[in-house]
């Protein structure tokens, strides 16, 4: 009995302690739950919608001839559908909705051709849809900075900043430049929402985007990180609660920006055309991107707590995707459709003029095909690369009356493959619009869109260096620099393009031996894929001149190949005299009436010249359904191992020599 009483006291104490612990636990849990509820109750909800890299894709595409406004079809994109999606979201949500563009709204498709003619089709439509801010990307400079200034004026800037700000935080034009004089763009902007929340915005163009910009004239671009730091400081001084960087840089640079610059809450990105299915989180910064060509509308639901200054994403708790496909589920917006029709009529008039009435509508069928002429984003031959370069070679030959030996074009200048229609009303049709979507970039000295064809001469040895340059730049910079060819075939080893890369400086050292063999096609028309006696071997030291064509944009990079291979490439005239590279007018190819021959024009003419099969519409040859063995990749022992092997053999030799020498001394 006594023993039982002794045990009773500890048991009671233990029960009391456990009860107290449980009470504390529940109290703590309730306080946390209450705090969370309190925090959520005090949050300010808002949504960011975003697009990037529209590239003048004003109407639905892939291909545009399939589009049926009020019926099911496989097309994607289009500003009119986008407007409907944005309007529906704004009507559904009881919170502020912001709409941003991350650059490259201009350039690529033929609607961009209206820009040099004084129209601002893309930006005017975006204003009507209700974009809050847009950023200047590299393709906004496709027609040069002066045309960009005129474009912004045509879009009613600077007055239009009241609703749609144009941002470019690291761009600095000279004081006398129109972009500087007329307040056509801004470095930062602050939007105050109804709840008093201040959203600070700034815009950047990244280093890689700047590298591929066609023409920036005398504009200066500051280091993006330094420009971001300055913009953030300015926005914080203006009381911004949330800071959003709208960038045209690509995801790798966006991540680097988030790591190295503090204070950025959200990065709305563009340039690399990545459709991020969920945000990337880097250093507490949310990074989003929505693909290209209005195929998606980016959708980011956010909540901000003013007391804790915490920003969080709400998509998952609301079961909302981060990307909304813009397809036939969204009917055309009535008002935006009228605006699109207006600009399409203007473009039809321009196309009729440029083709001398042969094509009067952008959706006119140029040719027919039962297959897609496929593209590639890799460093390899592609069917569309063959089609485009064949067009450049053969049409230029017809216009000049002079045999063209070789045509070059890069993957980056060929925007996409060429896809025929698949619907009952459009089956097999390849439209004018579809072709120019693939090759419609650029601007000429004549004031019309499209890169002009350039004609010049290189020696056989220099052709070798061009191929070596293509190999090393595609390995060391981007597959977009890889050159498609017509009039040649060659074999190369991509593993041998770069011998090694210098650490820290990240400088590739070329082997100059990646090209194993090369041949010139001596026949007429399409070059055969199989063995043929219509090819002659090209020697590395060949000093014979060969007639080469490309476009003005790629030509401007030809001499840059000398930075990657230890040999100067010097374009020449037919007599072998080096060209004056400051005056290209003499090597631009012109029609008899003085008009420039455009790259897109060669492809249109080539497609239209294909032989018809059953009716008067030309039919694309099955030759272009696949590649034709023009560029062959072969793997062998990588060149980098040869110097390593020699070094190892040298070390071994020295070791045995010293060992033998010591033995002689011992004896």
pLDDT, tens digit, 9 for 90 and up, residues 360-408: 999 999 999 999 999 998 999 999 999 999 999 999 999 999 999 999 9
Per-residue pLDDT, 564: 58
Q: Please report the pLDDT score of residue 369 as a whole number.
A: 96
The pLDDT of residue 448 is above 90 = yes
Tell me the torsion sign for CA atoms 32, 34, 37, 39.
negative
Pairwise CA distance, residues 93 & 85, whole Å:
12
Helices 334-354 and 79-92, axial angle in degrees (round to 10): 160
Beta strands in 624-666 (DSSP E): 631-633
Count of Cβ atoms closer than 10 Å to residue 329 Cβ: 11
Short-list 588, 449, 582, 445, CA closest to 139: 449
Given a cut of 70, whether residue 500 has pLDDT beyond it is no
Distance (Å, whole) CA 162 – CA 542: 62
| DSSP class of 204 | E
- pTM, entire model: 0.86
454 contacts 409 by C-beta, under 8 angstroms: no
Alpha carbon 645 to chain centroid, angstroms: 41
Q: Report the pLDDT averaged over residues 36-49.
A: 79
- Give percent of the chain with pLDDT exceeding 70: 85
Please provide the distance, in angstroms rounded to a whole number, between the alpha carbons at the two ends of the chain. Answer: 101
3-class DSSP string for 264-312:
CCEEECCCCCCECCCCEEECCEEEECECCCCCEEEEEEEEEECCCCEEE
- Residue 406: predicted pLDDT: 98
Count of beta carbons in the 10 Å neighbourhood of residue 260: 12
Band the pLDDT of 514: cuts 50, 70, 90. confident
Which residues fall within 8 angstroms of residue 284, CB to CB, at 6 or more apart? none
> In whole angstroms, what is the distance from residue 240 CA to residue 220 CA?
27
Query: Please, what's the b/e burial string for 151-171 (b: 16 or more CB within 10 A of its CB; e: otherwise)?
Result: bbbbbbbeebbeebbbbbbbb
What pLDDT does 31 receive?
45
Share of the chain above pLDDT 90, in %: 73
Rounded CA-CA distance 132/347 in Å is: 27
Beta bridge partners of 305: 310
Q: What mean pLDDT is predicted for residues 605-611?
A: 96
For residue 663, pLDDT beyond 70: no
Mean pLDDT in residue range 541-564: 83
Among 36, 130, 620, 591, residue whose Cα is nearest residue 333: 130
CA 619/CA 480 separation, integer angstroms: 29
Strand duo 488-492 + 515-521: pairing: antiparallel
CA–CA separation, 278 vs 316, rounded Å?
10
Lowest mean pLDDT among 98-112, 120-134, 492-506: 492-506
Whether the per-residue pLDDT at 115 is higher than 90: the answer is: yes
Q: What is the pLDDT of residue 567?
A: 65
Question: In this predicted model, what pLDDT tens digit does every residue of 319-356 receive, in sequence order?
Answer: 999 999 999 999 999 999 999 999 999 999 999 999 99
Report the pLDDT value the prediction gives residue 645, as an integer from 0 to 100.
46
Bin 472: left if φ > 0, else alpha if -120 < ψ < 50, else beta: alpha
Q: DSSP letter string over 387-446?
A: HHHHHHHHHHHHHHSS---EEEEEGGGS-S-B--B-STTTBTEEEHHHHHHHH---B-TT
- Identify the pLDDT of residue 641: 46
Buried b (16+ CB within 10 A) or exposed e, 51-74: bbbbbbbbbbbbbbbbbeeeeebe
Lowest-confidence region among 93-102, 152-161, 177-186, 332-341 = 177-186
Whether the pLDDT of residue 443 is over 50: the answer is yes
- Coil vs helix vs strand at 190: strand
Kindly report, residue by residue over 268-316, the tens digit of the pLDDT.
999 999 999 999 999 999 999 999 999 999 999 999 999 999 999 999 9
Asked whether the predicted pLDDT for residue 9 surpasses 60, the reply is: no
Q: Which of the pair, 529 or 390, is modelled with greater confidence?
A: 390
* Cα four-point dihedral sign 520, 523, 527, 530: negative
Average pLDDT, the chain: 89
Residue 573 scores a pLDDT above 80 = yes
Q: How much is the average pLDDT of 553-560? A: 78
Q: Which pLDDT value is given to residue 232?
A: 98
pLDDT of residue 35: 43
Q: Are strands 483-486 and 406-410 parallel, antiparallel or unpaired?
A: antiparallel
| Inter-residue contact 344 to 119 (CB < 8 Å) | no
DSSP letter (8 states) at residue 161: G
The C-alpha atoms of residue 439 and residue 449 are separated, in whole angstroms, by: 11
Tell me how far apart the alpha carbons of residues 494 and 496 are, in angstroms, rounded to a whole number.
Answer: 5
CA distances from 665 to 196, 656, 657, 662 (A): 90, 14, 13, 5
Q: Quick one: pLDDT band at residue 654, thresholds 50, 70, 90?
A: low
Where residue 21 falls among pLDDT bands split at 50, 70, 90? Answer: low
Confidence band (pLDDT; 50, 70, 90) for 248? very high
């Amino acid at each position: 009995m006594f023993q039982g009483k002794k045990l009773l006291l500890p048991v009671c104490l233990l029960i009391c302690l456990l009860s107290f612990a449980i009470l504390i636990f529940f109290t703590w849990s309730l306080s946390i739950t209450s705090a969370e509820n309190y925090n959520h109750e005090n949050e300010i909800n808002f949504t960011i919608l975003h697009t990037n890299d529209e590239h003048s894709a004003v109407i639905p595409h892939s291909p545009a001839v399939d589009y049926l406004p009020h019926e099911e079809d496989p097309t994607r994109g289009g500003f009119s559908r986008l407007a409907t999606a944005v309007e529906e979201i704004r009507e559904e949500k009881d919170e502020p909705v912001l709409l941003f563009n991350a650059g490259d709204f201009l350039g690529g498709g033929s609607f961009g051709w209206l820009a040099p003619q004084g129209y601002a089709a893309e930006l005017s439509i975006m204003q009507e849809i209700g974009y809050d801010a847009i950023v200047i990307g590299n393709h906004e400079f496709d027609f040069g900075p002066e045309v960009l200034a005129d474009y912004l004026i045509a879009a009613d800037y600077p007055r239009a900043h009241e609703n749609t700000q144009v941002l470019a935080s690291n761009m600095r034009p000279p004081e006398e430049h129109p972009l500087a004089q007329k307040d056509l763009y801004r470095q930062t902007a602050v939007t105050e929402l109804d709840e008093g929340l201040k959203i600070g915005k700034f815009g950047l163009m990244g280093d890689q985007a700047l590298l591929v910009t066609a023409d920036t004239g005398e504009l200066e671009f500051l280091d993006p990180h330094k420009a971001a730091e300055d913009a953030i400081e300015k926005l914080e001084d203006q009381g911004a609660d949330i800071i959003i960087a709208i960038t045209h840089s690509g995801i790798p640079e966006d991540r680097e920006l988030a790591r190295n610059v503090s204070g950025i809450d959200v990065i709305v990105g563009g340039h690399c055309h990545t459709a991020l299915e969920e945000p990337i989180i880097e250093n507490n910064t949310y990074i989003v991107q929505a693909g290209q060509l209005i195929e998606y509308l980016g959708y980011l639901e956010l909540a901000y707590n003013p007391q804790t200054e915490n920003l969080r994403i709400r998509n998952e708790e609301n079961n909302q995707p981060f990307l909304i496909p813009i397809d036939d589920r969204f009917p055309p917006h009535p008002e935006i459709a009228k605006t699109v029709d207006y600009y399409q009529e203007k473009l039809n008039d321009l196309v009729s003029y440029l083709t001398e009435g042969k094509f009067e509508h952008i959706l006119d069928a140029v040719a027919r095909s039962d297959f897609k002429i496929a593209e590639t984003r890799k460093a390899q031959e592609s069917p569309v690369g063959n089609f485009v370069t064949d067009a450049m070679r053969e049409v230029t030959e017809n216009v000049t009356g002079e045999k063209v030996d070789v045509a070059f074009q890069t993957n980056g200048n060929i925007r996409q493959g060429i896809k025929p229609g698949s619907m009952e009303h459009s089956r097999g049709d390849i439209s004018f619009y579809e072709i120019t979507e693939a090759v419609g970039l650029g601007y000429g000295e004549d004031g019309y869109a499209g890169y002009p064809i350039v004609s010049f001469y290189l020696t056989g040895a220099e052709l070798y260096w061009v191929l070596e340059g293509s190999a090393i730049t595609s390995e060391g910079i981007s597959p977009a620099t890889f050159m498609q060819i017509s009039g040649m075939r060659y074999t190369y080893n991509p593993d041998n393009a770069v011998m090694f890369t210098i650490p820290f400086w990240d400088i590739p050292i070329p082997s100059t031996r990646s090209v194993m063999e090369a041949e010139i096609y001596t026949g007429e028309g399409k070059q055969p894929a199989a063995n043929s006696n219509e090819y002659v071997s090209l020697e590395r030291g060949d000093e014979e001149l060969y007639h080469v064509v490309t476009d003005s944009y790629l030509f401007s990079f030809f001499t840059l190949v000398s930075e990657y291979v230890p040999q100067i490439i010097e374009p020449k005239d037919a007599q072998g005299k080096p060209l004056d590279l400051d005056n290209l007018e003499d090597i631009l190819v012109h029609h008899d009436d003085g008009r420039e021959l455009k790259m897109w024009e060669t492809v249109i003419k080539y497609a239209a010249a294909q032989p018809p099969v059953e009716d008067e519409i030309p039919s694309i040859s099955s030759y272009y359904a696949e590649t034709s063995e023009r560029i062959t990749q072969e793997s062998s022992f990588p060149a980098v191992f040869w110097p390593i092997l020699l070094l190892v053999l040298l070390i071994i030799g020295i070791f045995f020599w010293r060992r033998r020498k010591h033995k002689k001394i011992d004896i």
